[in-house]
Structure 1
Amino acid sequence: MTTHDAPVTEDLTVLTEPLKALANPVRLQVLQWLRTPEEHFPVNEVGVCVSHIQAKTGLAQSTVSAYMAALERVGLVRSTRVGKWTHYRRDEERIAQLMEQLRQNIGDIDLSRIVRS
Structure 2
Amino acid sequence: MDLERSISALNNPVRRKIVEWLKDRSNFPPALPEHEGLEGVCVGYIQEKANLSQSTISNYMGLLKQAGFVIAERHGQWTFYRRDEDNIKAFFDAVQKELL
TM-score by length of 2: 0.88
Partner of 2:84: 91
Residues 42-83 of structure 1 show CA distances to partners (whole Å, capped at 9, x for unaligned) of 354221000000000110011101100100011110000011
| Structure number with bigger Rg | 1
Report how many aligned residue pairs link the two structures: 94
Residues 8-61 of structure 1 show CA distances to partners (whole Å, capped at 9, x for unaligned) of xxxxx71111000000111000000011122x1135422100000000011001
Any unmatched runs of 5+ in structure 2?
A: none
Task: Please state if 1:21 is matched with 2:9.
Answer: yes
Partner of 1:33: 21
**1:14 corresponds to which letter in structure 2?**
D
TM-score by length of 1: 0.76
Determine what percentage of the aligned residue pairs are the same residue: 40
Q: 1:66 aligns with which of 56, 59, 62?
A: 59
Which portions of structure 1, spanning 4 or more consecutive aligned residues, are displaced by more than 4 angstroms?
none
Structure with larger RCO (C-alpha < 8 A, sep 6+): 2
